[in-house]
Every structure is written in structure tokens, then in C-alpha cells.
């Protein structure tokens, strides 16, 4: 999966693993995240498989950069992945909900403090999404006007992020009421 994301990003324009890590953190992190270690090792494997090529750029003064470029083979893999529709629901793994499921015999104050923390985190996250919106728009208008079509879909995923956070927030607020009573 992470390899598809890396191919998708490189299909926009050539960049380094570091750049991709940043883009993932800024844009896809609310539905898919990755550590830099996984990104670097995946890119190496992808190069071995001929999906990407890299050139090592030695910068005087600045740190060296390995810039990756997608190959026609890589574009084929990306297209094939997108052409094969998902037939099932994406699986969910949410530790917090598991904790709630087993919370019946916990200390009331203990549960509440955890619920307050989570509610605050979701509130923060939701607030950040509003700013991200602008951020993406600015970036593509300055850097890559060809990505305006893509931006509509990026915005759509951000919209899902907002809906998700709002639903979570509402739920936690109701849960707090339930536990308090």
C-alpha cells in the first residue's frame, strides 16, 4: 500500500524520500501515515523492481539528496492499482474504541479524564484541518498549476477527515454525558 502512495506522489513530480514524508504528513496523514524508515526502504525496493529511478545529488554545503523519478513501469503499476476497484469495506483498527468497549469496570474519573483528552485532541485536529485547506491551495497555485484537477480530490479527502473528526467529537461528548450520569 505505501508503495502505491509513493508512486502516486512521484507521478506528480520527482522528489526525495524526505519530500514524500513531508507530503504524507501534511496531506494523507489523516487516512494513511508512514515512518521515514519505511519510506526509504520501500523506495529502494521499488528502484530494484524498476518502478522508479533515483539520482544522488551532492550539494556543496547542503545535505545530499536522492531524487526519485517514476518510470513507465511504475506508472503502469499505479494505473493497475487504481483500475482494480475495492470490493470490500476498508478494515478499521481503532484502539480507543476497543478501550471504551472494555471500560465498564474502570474507575469513573479515570475514564472521564481519558475521554477529555481524546475530545481535546479531536477538537485540535478538526481546527487544523481548516488551515490545511488553504495550505494545499496555496502550494499548488505557486508550484504546480497542473495539479488543480487533483486538488479537488485532495479536498474531498480532507472533507472526509472533517466529517470523521466531527462524528468522533459528537460521540465522545455523548459518552462523557453517559459516564457522568
Partner DNA sequence: TATAACATGTAAGCTGTTACATGATTAC
Partner DNA sequence: GTAATCATGTAACAGCTTACATGTTATA
Q: Choose among 30, 29, 32: nearest CA to 2.
A: 32
- Output helix, strand, coil percentages for the chain, rounded to the nearest 5: 70, 10, 25
Residue 67 or 126 with smaller CB distance to a copy of itself: 126
In the range 85-104, which residues lie near DNA by CB under 7 A? Answer: 91, 93
Q: Does residue 106 interact with DNA by CB under 7 A?
A: no
E strands, 74-124, are none
Binding at 119: pick from a copy of itself, DNA, none (beta carbon under 5-8 Å per type):
none
Residue 18 or 164 with smaller CB distance to a copy of itself: 164
Q: Does residue 41 interact with DNA by CB under 7 A?
A: yes
Binding at 55: pick from a copy of itself, DNA, none (beta carbon under 5-8 Å per type):
none
From the CB of 19, what's the least distance to a copy of itself, in Å?
Answer: 17
Asked whether the beta carbons of 155 and 133 are under 8 A apart, the reply is yes
The residue with cell 497555485 is 141
Amino acid at each position: 500500500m505505501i508503495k502505491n502512495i509513493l508512486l502516486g506522489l512521484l507521478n506528480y513530480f520527482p522528489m526525495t524520500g524526505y519530500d514524500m514524508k513531508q507530503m504524507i504528513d501534511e496531506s494523507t496523514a489523516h487516512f494513511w501515515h508512514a515512518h521515514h524508515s519505511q519510506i526509504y526502504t520501500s523506495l529502494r525496493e521499488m528502484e530494484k523492481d524498476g518502478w522508479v529511478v533515483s539520482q544522488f545529488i551532492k550539494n556543496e554545503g547542503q545535505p545530499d539528496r536522492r531524487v526519485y523519478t517514476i518510470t513507465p513501469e511504475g506508472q503502469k503499476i499505479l494505473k493497475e492499482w487504481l483500475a482494480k476497484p475495492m470490493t470490500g469495506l476498508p478494515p478499521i483498527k481503532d484502539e480507543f474504541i476497543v478501550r471504551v468497549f472494555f471500560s465498564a469496570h474502570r474507575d469513573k474519573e479515570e475514564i472521564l479524564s481519558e475521554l477529555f483528552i481524546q475530545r481535546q485532541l479531536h477538537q485540535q485536529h478538526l481546527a487544523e484541518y481548516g488551515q490545511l485547506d488553504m495550505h494545499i491551495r496555496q502550494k499548488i497555485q505557486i508550484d504546480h498549476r497542473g495539479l488543480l484537477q487533483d486538488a479537488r480530490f485532495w479536498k474531498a479527502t480532507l472533507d472526509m477527515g472533517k466529517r470523521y473528526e466531527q462524528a468522533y467529537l459528537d460521540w465522545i461528548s455523548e459518552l462523557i454525558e453517559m459516564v457522568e450520569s
